[in-house]
């Protein structure tokens, strides 16, 4: 049988890969398909991973499904951008609208562990006011979650992921110290710090999910710099090396290379299992509860593809909001060239940050943004140069030769929710015969105003440190959110604060798609904090007889 | 074409057996360097046009073996390896490339009465610029947006293939694969012994010697 993890499932026959030891296995419990398990979780990323682990640790029977392979990072991961695109979701998605999104590397994953296997590890908390942005800041919509409760779950997530961060974080309310010391900063990160200080702004070492000292079987980060195409040493605290091993140890089953194509609903209108494609055939797994954690594209796609006579517009969609209010984050950048050698590819790409404009409200647009230091690898860098500067031919090769002198600042900015930015179904089918997602996106005036503000600020910062040949990358976006927003009532949201769908009481959605607004920081830590809370809520509801299974 | 070599003597492949490479990296790099040099997906005529386009998008120096860019595009199409998203105004990539290559050829014949690959570089560049700026002859593009095809495929695919090749890493002084060893000296201006040295004016000989020791 092939040992290619992209062809043959590895989690099978009572065992799953031991990601920490080449060739080794850990035992895995397996559940029969016909007997309903307590929970099926679809997706094993920042939302699914912690849920699978915590629910299994509470004693529930849980199966985690992932469409992607079960990688062994120590053996499978090359130091190579091109071949490591094996980590991205590369099945077709159609993009349109005034500002079609670029998908793939930035915002998708197809692996056990989801996109945390290749994310940049940036682990930030929301500004507390963002949970009530309508009431306190006058834009977007309020979340049904209280920031003080989230603060506790952030701390739990930071502990579980051994976040390496500064001794004291300069923005927001007091938080406990980070579990691991901050990483040493590289040349590119130092340029951010000098620029911020010249502007009178605070800066900090970015809290990162890669360990600065050994932790269990994870060695200290060696500053290899290929983080965004997968960590081959297991220093990165992805779901694959944190919650998923915990889940297996607690009795959960993982099914890799298992694409869920449809959620089945019984005559009583309750979810009763999932149809999934694995080993070349469709199968059915019975379940008492179904939790969808496929992120902002696959989650609404699955709900829409699961339509029945009773739920003609898709599951959990009586509000008509499944797929609506898709948000990305603005990810524009300003780059420049320093006289000295910087070698910006050494170490994690975003070692320093300023959240100044997330916490300063003296601006003429809504929402906030941060910016971080940059260190793209050559393929990604050439795509930025050619895509934004329209360079090709000899001028491109000439500019590329400045690679080791480059520095850059890149924003993560809050785009506002709009109903017309959405995921819907296209007529085209994928390799499983399922309609593919159509992703429609247009920037609005507030988004554009924020981008111009940020570009101006980042440019000024680079000018103040003496960078030359400065230019703006105006077109990039990254993380996703929305499409199944949480809220306080069934008319204006898809799920409640517990990530439980209003329409189908045993159907849950727990990933970035529940975000009503997206904030000006990377979303993964917030997704994980919500998942940890959801697991606790499920346990509480079950213990108080409010789940009925 | 003569150009200043900023990293003389540096060959990232010399690190192949060092701690900066693991088995997975050696395997994928061997496959990359061993790419078949003949078309498997494209027909000969399409291939000839593609080779000519690649030479204009990334003109390569004469004093080293060229990176076989067209071979990587053909391989991508042969494997139908996609990017994960597609502008809804474009057909799937195989169809897009076939249509696009046919359109460049047709426009070359229409304007210059020669095949694209037989045109002068200046003429090829002009046709490429016309596509880039949306001024192509719509009649030969059979409904496909030339400018979108140029940015999403001609530029993206060819340039990505170039900078995925170790020869290009030598040019820009990129350290290349870095696992499991990683890097040690993180501060500005500091170099690990397995990173290349950049030559300034007049010190090429010394730098070449140093770069030949980079392992």
Do residue B162 and residue B181 come from a single domain? no
Q: Nearest C-alpha of chain B: how many angstroms from A326?
A: 16
Question: In chain B, what is the straight-line distance between the N-terminal and C-terminal CA atoms, in Å?
Answer: 29
| Residues in chain A closer than 8 A to B83 (CB atoms) | 90, 103-104
Closest Cβ opposite residue B164 in set A95, A105, A379? A379
Please answer yes or no on whether A104 and B84 come within 8 Å at the CB atom. yes
Do residue B136 and residue B201 come from a single domain? no
A142-145 LR contacts (CB < 8 Å, sep 24+): A142/A488, A142/A516, A143/A486, A143/A497, A143/A516, A143/A517, A144/A486, A144/A487, A144/A488, A144/A493, A144/A496, A144/A497, A145/A486, A145/A497, A145/A530, A145/A533
- How far, in Å, CA of A48 to CA of A291, rounded? 8
Task: Report the chain B residue with the minimal C-alpha distance to residue A77.
Answer: B24
Residue B1 pLDDT: 45
Please answer yes or no on whether A225 and B168 come within 8 Å at the CB atom. no
Do residue B142 and residue B106 come from a single domain? yes
Do residue B135 and residue B199 come from a single domain? no
Q: DSSP for A298-317?
A: HHHHHHHHT--SSSTT-TT-
**Residue A169: its H or E element:** none
Residue A1 pLDDT: 56
Identify whether B82 is part of a domain: yes
Do residue B64 and residue B126 come from a single domain? yes
Q: Consecutive 10-residue runs of chain A (549 residues): their mean pLDDT? A: 89 98 98 98 98 98 98 98 96 96 87 98 98 98 98 98 97 95 97 98 98 98 98 98 98 98 97 98 98 98 97 98 98 97 97 98 97 98 95 97 98 98 97 97 98 98 98 94 98 98 98 98 98 98 91
| Residues in chain A closer than 8 A to B84 (CB atoms) | 88-93, 103-105, 108
Task: Give pLDDT tens digits for B76-85.
Answer: 999 999 999 9
The token duo for A281 is 């055939």
Per-residue burial over B174-212, b if 16 or more Cβ lie within 10 Å, else e, is bbbbbbebbbebbebeebbebbbbbbeeeeeeebbebbe
Residue A107 pLDDT: 83
Q: Nearest C-alpha of chain B: how many angstroms from A134?
A: 33
Please answer yes or no on whether B85 and A393 come within 8 Å at the CB atom. no
Q: Nearest C-alpha of chain B: how many angstroms from A284?
A: 27
Cα distances (angstroms) measured from residue B211 to each of A225, B61, B175, B214: 21, 20, 12, 5
Please answer yes or no on whether B88 and A108 come within 8 Å at the CB atom. no
Do residue B134 and residue B210 come from a single domain? no
- How far, in Å, CA of A36 to CA of B161, rounded? 48
Q: Rg of the Cα trace of chain B?
A: 20
Task: Give pLDDT tens digits for B14-67.
Answer: 999 999 999 999 999 999 999 999 999 999 999 999 999 999 999 999 999 999
Identify whether B214 is part of a domain: yes
The residues, ordered by sequence, that sit 6+ positions from B14 with a Cβ below 8 Å of its Cβ are B212, B214, B215
Do residue B98 and residue B155 come from a single domain? yes
- Find which of A4, A82, A97 to mutate to test the B interface (most B CBs within 10 Å of its CB): A82
Closest Cβ opposite residue A76 in set B24, B88, B164? B24
- B203 is in which domain, residue-wise? 8-15+176-215
Do residue B204 and residue B125 come from a single domain? no
- How far, in Å, CA of A479 to CA of B38, rounded? 39
Please answer yes or no on whether B159 and A396 come within 8 Å at the CB atom. yes
- How far, in Å, CA of B96 to CA of A466, rounded? 44
Residue B187 pLDDT: 87
Place of tokens 């296995």: A25
Do residue B140 and residue B204 come from a single domain? no
Please answer yes or no on whether B189 and A75 come within 8 Å at the CB atom. no
CA A49 from centroid of its chain's CA atoms = 12
Task: Report the chain A residue with the minimal C-alpha distance to residue B159.
Answer: A382
Residue A172 pLDDT: 97
- How far, in Å, CA of A410 to CA of A469, rounded? 16
Identify whether B23 is part of a domain: no
Task: Report the chain B residue with the minimal C-alpha distance to residue A338.
Answer: B188
**φ, ψ (nearest 5 deg) of residue A224:** -70, -35
Identify whether B193 is part of a domain: yes
Do residue B98 and residue B160 come from a single domain? yes
Q: Which residue(s) pair with B87 in the sheet?
A: A95
- How far, in Å, CA of A140 to CA of A447, rounded? 12
Task: Indicate the number of domains in chain B.
Answer: 2
**φ, ψ (nearest 5 deg) of residue B38:** -110, 150
Please answer yes or no on whether B198 and A95 come within 8 Å at the CB atom. no
Closest Cβ opposite residue B186 in set A95, A347, A426? A347
Please answer yes or no on whether A400 and B21 come within 8 Å at the CB atom. no
Identify whether B21 is part of a domain: no
Identify whether B1 is part of a domain: no
Residue B2 pLDDT: 56
Do residue B118 and residue B95 come from a single domain? yes
Q: Nearest C-alpha of chain B: how many angstroms from A76?
A: 6
Closest Cβ opposite residue B188 in set A76, A340, A390? A340
Identify whether B22 is part of a domain: no
Domains along chain A with CATH numbers: 15-543 (3.50.50.60)
Identify whether B86 is part of a domain: yes
Please answer yes or no on whether A347 and B183 come within 8 Å at the CB atom. yes
Contact A44, A114 (CB under 8 A): yes
Do residue B189 and residue B125 come from a single domain? no
Residue A97 pLDDT: 98
């Amino acid at each position: 049988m092939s040992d290619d993890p992209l062809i043959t499932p590895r989690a099978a026959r009572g065992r799953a890969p031991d990601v920490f030891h080449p060739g080794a296995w850990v035992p895995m419990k397996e559940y029969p398909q016909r007997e309903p398990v307590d929970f099926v979780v679809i997706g094993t990323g920042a939302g699914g991973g912690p849920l699978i682990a915590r629910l299994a640790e509470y004693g529930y029977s849980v199966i985690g499904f992932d469409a992607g392979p079960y990688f062994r990072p120590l053996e499978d991961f090359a130091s190579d951008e091109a071949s490591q695109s094996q980590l991205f979701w590369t099945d077709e998605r159609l993009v349109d609208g005034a500002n079609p999104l670029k998908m793939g590397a930035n915002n998708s994953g197809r692996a056990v562990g989801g996109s945390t296997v290749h994310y940049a590890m940036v682990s930030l908390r929301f500004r507390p006011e963002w949970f009530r942005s309508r009431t306190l800041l006058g834009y977007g919509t309020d979340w049904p979650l209280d920031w003080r409760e989230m603060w506790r779950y952030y701390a739990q997530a930071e502990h579980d992921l051994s976040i390496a961060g500064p001794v004291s974080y300069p923005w927001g309310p007091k938080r406990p110290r980070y579990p691991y010391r901050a990483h040493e900063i590289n040349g590119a990160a130092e340029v951010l710090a000098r620029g911020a200080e010249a502007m009178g702004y605070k800066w900090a070492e970015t809290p990162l999910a890669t360990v600065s000292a050994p932790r269990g079987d994870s060695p200290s980060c060696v500053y290899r710099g290929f983080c965004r195409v997968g960590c081959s040493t297991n220093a990165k605290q992805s779901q694959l090396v944190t919650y998923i091993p915990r889940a297996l140890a607690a009795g959960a089953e993982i099914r890799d290379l298992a694409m869920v194509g449809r959620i089945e609903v019984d005559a009583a209108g309750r979810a009763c299992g999932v149809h999934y494609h694995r080993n070349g055939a469709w199968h059915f797994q019975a379940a008492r509860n179904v939790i969808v954690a496929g992120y902002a594209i696959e989650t609404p796609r699955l709900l829409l593809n699961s339509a029945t006579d009773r739920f003609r517009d898709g599951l959990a969609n009586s509000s008509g909001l499944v797929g609506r209010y898709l948000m990305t984050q603005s990810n524009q950048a300003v780059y420049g060239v320093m006289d000295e050698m910087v070698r910006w590819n050494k170490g994690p790409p975003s070692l320093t940050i300023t959240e100044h404009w997330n916490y300063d409200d003296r601006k003429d647009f809504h929402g906030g943004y941060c910016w971080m230091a940059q260190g793209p690898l050559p393929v990604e860098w050439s795509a930025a140069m050619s895509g934004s500067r329209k360079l090709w031919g000899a001028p491109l090769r000439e500019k590329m030769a400045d690679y080791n002198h480059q520095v850059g600042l890149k924003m993560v900015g809050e785009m506002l929710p709009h109903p017309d930015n959405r995921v819907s179904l296209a007529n085209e089918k994928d390799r499983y015969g399922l309609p593919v997602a159509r992703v429609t996106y247009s920037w609005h005036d507030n988004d554009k105003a924020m981008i111009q503000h940020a570009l101006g600020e980042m440019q000024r910062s680079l000018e103040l440190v003496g960078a030359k040949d400065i230019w703006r990358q105006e077109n990039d976006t990254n993380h996703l959110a929305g499409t199944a927003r949480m809220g306080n009532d069934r008319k204006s949201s898809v799920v409640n604060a517990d990530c439980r769908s209003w329409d189908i009481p045993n159907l849950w959605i727990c990933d970035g798609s529940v975000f009503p607004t997206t904030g000006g920081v990377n979303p993964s830590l917030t997704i994980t904090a919500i998942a940890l809370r959801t697991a606790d809520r499920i346990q509480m509801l079950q213990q108080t007889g409010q789940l009925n299974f | 074409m003569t150009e200043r070599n900023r990293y003389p003597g540096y060959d990232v492949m010399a690190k192949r057996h060092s701690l900066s490479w693991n088995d997975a990296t050696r395997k994928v790099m061997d496959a990359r360097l061993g790419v078949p040099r003949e078309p498997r997906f494209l027909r000969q005529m399409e291939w000839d046009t593609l080779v000519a386009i690649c030479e204009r998008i990334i003109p390569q120096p004469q004093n080293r073996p060229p990176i076989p860019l067209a071979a990587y595009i053909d391989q991508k199409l042969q494997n139908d390896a996609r990017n994960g998203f597609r502008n809804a105004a474009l057909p799937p990539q195989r169809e897009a490339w076939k249509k696009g290559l046919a359109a460049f050829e047709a426009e070359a014949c229409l304007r210059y009465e020669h095949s694209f690959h037989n045109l002068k570089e200046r003429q090829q560049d002009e046709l490429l610029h016309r596509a880039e700026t949306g001024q192509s002859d719509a009649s030969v593009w059979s409904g496909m947006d030339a400018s979108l095809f140029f940015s999403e495929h001609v530029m993206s695919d060819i340039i990505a293939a170039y900078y995925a090749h170790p020869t290009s890493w030598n040019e820009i002084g990129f350290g290349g694969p870095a696992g499991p060893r990683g890097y040690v000296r993180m501060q500005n201006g500091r170099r690990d012994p397995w990173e290349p040295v950049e030559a300034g004016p007049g010190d090429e000989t010394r730098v070449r010697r140093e770069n030949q020791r980079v392992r």
